[in-house]
Amino acid sequence: MRWNASKAFLRPALKRPNLTLLTGVEVDKVLLEQGRASAVLARWQGAEHQFAARREIILCAGAIGSPNILQRSGIGPRPLLERLGIAVKHELPGVGGNLQDHLQLRLIYQVSNVRTLNQVANSLWGKLGMGLRYLYDRSGPLAMAPSQLGAFVRSGPEQATPNLEYHVQPLSLERFGEPLHRFPAFTASVCNLRPVSRGRVDIRSANPADAPLIDPNYLSEPQDLQVAAAAIRLTRQIVQSPALAPFAPREYLPGAALHTEEELQQAAGQIGTTIFHPVGTCRMGNGPMDVVDAQLRVHGVPGLRIADASIMPFIVSGNTCSPTVMIAEKAAQLIRQSSAEPTNHNGKAAIATP
């Protein structure tokens, strides 16, 4: 059971008379009227609807969804929009670019003389025990977060501050969505907190039902490859410490036979996967590739703001959830402080979410 933004902010606000929450809405695009964001076009309950805004529209569809909505609205890179046959309403070349994420390298170690969740979850009696324990006093594996240990460290002495983050779990699997291994093991996941590589996300068509094209471009810069290799070496050093000796850890992935810089860099690409921290695709700033200003207003499009992780110019050195909540808190302050804007003809406000 987790405390989350829905419980903390949304559910209490549902008691307010000036808030209407609609679920199952697929936002297509923002509609412009004389250059100003005036409404949101969306599908809801099998029909197309327009939700008009009296003051502003706030996009908070995330680092993937927000740039896609802008692009379908004709707000984005001209070459992309023209290639897809979308009329350019406002050219913003930075929409969809600057994609950053924390690539986690999932090193797996087999162990002895100890049970891990691999054995518990692969046993019928183990599953039953987990369920009964949770029902009895809300404890046990079902009450735990996936990662039991976190740590921030430096990949080398040249780093002024910690640039690696560890998430360690008492379980292992080949890839997300597959069953746990049947042998006892733990996973030491380590990610580069300040990657230099940049990717992008773009729509593949004007149809909101079509999945976007996401190119994270991981490890495309030599600096990121060097940090990845250093992270694997550091993890091996930690695992070989005397504290873990009673459990005789043996490297399952990427494999103890890999030692050279080239081998470790190649291994990083094979065991690396997203840790689900995409940011930066509608970044804040005043440069030619920036999308929103310091007030989170979309450049050149009055009446439209973005409040999500897509506005981060650089990815934060840690998990992105709490910073995103802080962005939302700041956005609320900015909206309150802003002067009254012309009202729409129907006197309604609109908020667009995924």
The DSSP secondary-structure symbol of 114 reads S
Using one digit for the tens of pLDDT, what is the confidence trace for 57-76?
999 999 999 999 999 999 99
Handedness of CA 122, 128, 133, 139 (dihedral sign): positive
Question: What pLDDT is recorded for position 354?
Answer: 42
Give 3-state DSSP helix, strand, coil % of the chain, rounded to 5. Answer: 30, 25, 45
Determine whether 175 is exposed, middle or buried from the number of CB atoms within 10 Å of its CB (0-12, 13-18, 19+). Answer: exposed
Alpha-carbon span 23 to 19, nearest angstrom = 13
Does 5-100+278-352 match 103-197+216-274 in CATH topology?
no
The residues with which 49 forms a beta bridge, in sequence order, are 42
**CATH of span 5-100+278-352:** 3.50.50.60
Q: Exactly one of 90, 181, 277, 299 is catalytic; which is it?
A: 277
**CATH of span 103-197+216-274:** 3.30.560.10
Determine whether 160 is exposed, middle or buried from the number of CB atoms within 10 Å of its CB (0-12, 13-18, 19+). Answer: exposed
Q: Which two three-digit tokens encode residue 245?
A: 């000796």
From residue 137, alpha-carbon distances to 2, 145, 184, 228 in Å are: 16, 16, 26, 41
350, HSE (Cβ side, Cα atoms, 13 Å): 25
Determine whether 318 is exposed, middle or buried from the number of CB atoms within 10 Å of its CB (0-12, 13-18, 19+). Answer: middle
Determine whether 200 is exposed, middle or buried from the number of CB atoms within 10 Å of its CB (0-12, 13-18, 19+). Answer: buried
The domain limits of the chain are: 5-100+278-352, 103-197+216-274
Location of structure tokens 């992270």: 231
**pTM, full prediction:** 0.90
Q: Which two three-digit tokens encode residue 71?
A: 């692009």
From residue 10, alpha-carbon distances to 7, 19, 130, 247 in Å are: 6, 10, 31, 46
Does the active-site annotation cover 277? yes
Using one digit for the tens of pLDDT, what is the confidence trace for 171-208?
999 998 899 999 999 999 999 999 999 999 999 999 99
Question: What pLDDT is recorded for position 345?
Answer: 45
The residues, ordered by sequence, that sit 6+ positions from 69 with a Cβ below 8 Å of its Cβ are 27, 28, 29, 30, 59, 61, 352
Question: What pLDDT is recorded for position 339?
Answer: 59
Pinpoint the alpha helices (H) of 138-249: 222-239
Question: What pLDDT is recorded for position 144?
Answer: 86
Residues (pLDDT < 70) of the chain are 339-354
Parallel, antiparallel or unpaired: strands 90-91 and 75-76: parallel
Cis upstream peptide for 67 (omega within 30°): no
